[in-house]
Amino acid sequence: MSDTPTRAYHHGNLRNELLDTAEAQLAAGSDELSLRALARAVGVSQTAPYRHFSDKNELMVALATRGYQQLLSKLKEAGSAAEDPESRLRAFAHTYVNYAVAHPDLFRLMFGPMEKPQEDYPELRQAMRDTYDLVRAIMREGMDQGVFEHDDAAYLANAGWSGIHGLATLKIDTPELFERHIDLQRQIDLGVDIFVSGLRKHAD
């Protein structure tokens, strides 16, 4: 708002401000983001964004990439405070779902269907893979310590992630099915509880 320090001809930070505003615009409701509306919101000519992004899709990809990186750093931070695989998974779950709730539109963009093959955007691809690898690392750690009794980290990671991702998705996309009296944090904990105890039981 007030951070418009005598905006000169050369903006100085246009790329970042475009991304910030794009995120806000996304959140502001309308499904689709328009480059023109974005330029208008930033207070810049409608062709200025092309100095920083070769086309609209590239801006969207940059937005998604930033989202993944932001989520990833939160996940890592939350995980580093935990001491065992179970509490690491629990921290992951809370951080993940709370991120989705805090940034529903960005989250949808990140996990929605991609327009262009993500092959062309190595940074995006890497950020996605890193997120997935984090889940798998937790699972592998649990398996190694014998608290998760299973033999395939990939299947286990998918199973765990599904529960967490599904909760995030249902919460932000179909709120009317998510009843009023439900406490989200308790719901997350229940999911982790069932998952963890199911894995303990699973082997015997």
Partner DNA sequence: TGTACATCAGTGAACGCGCGTTCACTGATGTAC
User: CA 121 → CA 17, 22, 43, 128, 147, distances in Å?
Assistant: 21, 19, 28, 11, 37
State the burial class of residue 150 (Cβ atoms within 10 Å of its Cβ: 0-12, 13-18, 19+).
Answer: middle
Report the residue from 54, 115, 121, 147 that binds a second copy according to the rule CB under 8 A. Answer: 115
200 lies in the site for a second copy, by CB under 8 A: yes
Binding to DNA (CB under 7 A) within 9-68 occurs at: 9-12, 14, 33-37, 44-48, 50-52, 55-57
Q: Are 60 and 115 contacting, i.e. CB atoms less than 8 angstroms apart?
A: yes
Q: Are 199 and 100 in contact (CB under 8 A)?
A: no
127 binds, among a second copy, DNA, none (CB under 5 to 8 A by kind): none
Residue 5 beta carbon to DNA: minimum distance, rounded to whole angstroms: 12
Whether residue 92 contacts residue 50, with contact meaning beta carbons closer than 8 Å, is answered with no
Q: Is the CB of 38 or the CB of 139 nearer to a second copy?
A: 139
Where does this chain bind a second copy (CB under 8 A)?
31-32, 108, 111-113, 115, 118, 125, 128-129, 132, 154-156, 158-159, 161-167, 169-170, 172-174, 176-179, 181-182, 186-187, 190-191, 193-202
